[in-house]
Structure 1
Amino acid sequence: MDTNGSIHQINNTQESMSSSDYYANLKKSLHILSLCVFGVACVFGVFGNGLVIWVAGFRMKKNVNTVWFLNLAVADFLFTAFLPLSITYQALNFHWPFGKLMCKLNGTVNFLNLYASVYTLVAISVDRLVSIVWPVWAQIHRNVRKASYMSLCVWAFALSLSLPSFVFRDTESYGDITICYNNYAFSNNYTNPDVIQLRHFRHRSMTITRVLLGFIIPFSVMLSCYSIIIHRLRNSPTLAKRSGRPFRVIATIIITFFLCWAPFHIMTIVELKRFDPDSQSETLALVIGIGLPLTTCLAYINSCLNPVLYIFIGQDFKDKICKSILKVLESVFQEDEINTYTKSTSTSENKRSDHNIELQK
């Protein structure tokens, strides 16, 4: 996921760091590692998320949970389906042979996955909060149609946040090499102070906006929701028992997303320091040159982890070995009965009362 603002900046960074043979070898190792990680994420992501889409979309009865997990799988599947372009780009030593349009689409899909995933997780967190704190209201108003509408809103919002990537992505050729990069100034002039200032300003604005809207704000909402949920579950053992499995699955997905994406966002903030004339150093260049590939790999891995989490958290390990993948996924996606536990308890008490009357007769 290229966050560099211009080819001139990339070249300057590479020149400052390539003076060390050690760094050159390390850079080569990171290049190979990135190719391996991208390949694994592509294969397992396409297969795993495709399986989830097939099960949740075509093999199961629709409920609110399947709508949420289906949208997560679609976002990850779309991202991993575009990964062969990035793999080819790296394998050709950063030569982009697919044209400007595909350069724009590839960059847009990268961030569409980020925003669609994180805001779907926000929707899931709010849905869990409503189901646990206001179960009667949720039983009346919580349904597949409204969840589908909410998912469409999430995708529309995610697409709007991803459009700047489509606008700024560009290609530029140097002899036989064509590079796909972010042209924030819409210019190939790297000496004009006004153009340089505009490029740096837009780069900072895009980075800060992405960190705020793609990480800090949504995770603050999720953290607030789950703080309230945990407090409520502690005060209700019956509710905690009934909501245990879906809560574990969703909480683990959110934690995994955080662990995979937090280092990437932190590194993009660190990368902004290179525009500060007082912060230029070989150490900073080395940190960015090593940190960005590693954190990008970690972010990419997230797209193939969710199907694994659905299986290995939804049931005990021994049960999963004995069951087919379809049965395991069905058990994970089953709607829990949080909204109706009060009604079920009341029905059971009525049945016991009727039974006692019959005995008295």
Structure 2
Amino acid sequence: MRRIASFVRAPRLPECVRQLRWSSNGWQVSSGGRVQSATGVISFGSLQAAGYRSVSIDNQKYLVHRLVAAAFLDPPLDSSCWQVNHLDGDRGNNQVANLQYVTCSENQRHSFATNMSRNRKGVSKAVLWRRCGEMSWTRCASQLEAEQLLGVPRSSVSRCCRGSLTKTRGNGVWYEFKEIPHQDPELPARTGKASDEWWSAARHPCECDAIPNLMVSNHGRVSPVFPGKGYISRGTRMNDGYYSVTRRRRTLLVHRLVAATFIGRPISPDMEVNHKDSDRGNNHVDNLEYVTRSQNRQHAVLQRAKAGRIITCNGKAVQARAKGCEGPCLDFSSMKMAALYTHVPAKQISRSCKGLASGMSDGSHWEFRFALQETLPGEEWRPVVLEGVRACRH
């Protein structure tokens, strides 16, 4: 009989901790949250929809804040502390002083503590109540408050507000309840007077029939029932800045519902809905338009350039300025992005940056140069280390 040796299985650590340390083929990362590619291109990384910065190394995507942490922070002693937290809550601030290793639960608690949109008091359904036989109504901020004040079950309060019950009893006293329509406090500041708002049955760009039990307004608000009798809101804000609403286990984007309802169905199902002011939270019908995917991307590039923001993309950073203009230059992270904005071919931009006179002989009104890489105060550069980065997303 063969004897089998017994052994004690060691605790399994997260994949990001168990990986061996390896370098990244010439890439470097700085304490200021910047990265330098093997070809010398320096950037803060590409901005993702969720707010994080990322780079592509050897055809694999890495989050910049994890690269900074792996290079400058000591490895955590606790194997559960594998997530990297931004102390100020800004996912784009990847300076080493702003990063720390935390557990998953610590990261979630810190996110709720620093996210102002989550710190706002939850929107509750205000209700009016009165004793049966009385004329005047009294207001409660929520159904829960009415339950605690009067001793009436919250479910009964809700049924009265929906019209399923005419009255209900709490602590031996009969009460009547009705709901106060919720008003979005941000509506006047964003869209003007509420009297300009009108409602219609919500429709989807790719569907002929209206969506059951869902109303949408031209101001970008949604309601599960007809206005005045239900919970009215702008929807649920997602990480990428868009607002959504859920119906029958489907997540529907509010701006697409508004466009389909008040503008009509697009001429092609492949068309996208663009925000004219680039504010993904402004779903007023006047701010929406149907565009192709390429038009949508080009609009995003132009809006960022007009705002003086560096357009992130892999490539050699360049600066552009109109000939004869003494104002500041526009910054682009690649010649491709500069070509998209100025309509000058990338090859001609390259020749202009290299000082070749024949590069701009086509009568272009733009002049170009390579962007000067500025050193941040106290910035330190180290080789990128991929330990614990490949297997982790956050």
TM-score tier, shorter chain, comes to: under 0.3
Which structure: larger Rg? 2
**Which structure is higher in strand share?**
2
**Higher RCO (C-alpha 8 Å, min separation 6):** 1
**Which structure is higher in helix share?**
1
TM-score normalized with structure 2 length: 0.22
TM-score normalized with structure 1 length: 0.24
